[in-house]
Amino acid sequence: MITDVQLTVFANLAGSVLFLLVVLYHYVIVNQKTPKLNKRKIKGVEADFMSS
């Protein structure tokens, strides 16, 4: 059976890993290159769209 100490270590380790994954995710999202805007005409009106 798992002891209280083992459970504590596992919970702290899992929390730390999840926290680091969130920080890494935000770092990657903030530093990604933004796509260029495409200009398209819709029914004679110019509109800006993000390219996918």
Q: How many domains does the chain have?
A: 1
pLDDT score, position 51: 56
In this predicted structure, the answer to whether residue 26 has a pLDDT above a threshold of 70 is yes
Q: Which two tokens stand for residue 15?
A: 């929390």
Question: In angstroms, rounded to a whole number, what is the distance separating the alpha carbons of residues 20 and 7?
Answer: 20
> What's the whole-number average pLDDT of the chain?
84
In this predicted structure, the answer to whether residue 43 has a pLDDT above a threshold of 80 is no
- Its domain, for residue 30, covers 4-50
Q: List C-alpha distances in Å: 49 to 11, 15, 30, 31.
A: 44, 39, 20, 21
Q: Are 39 and 48 in contact (CB under 8 A)?
A: yes
CB atoms within 10 A of CB 42: 8
In this predicted structure, the answer to whether residue 3 has a pLDDT above a threshold of 90 is yes
The residue among 25 and 46 whose pLDDT is bigger is 25
In this predicted structure, the answer to whether residue 50 has a pLDDT above a threshold of 90 is no
**pTM of the complete model:** 0.58
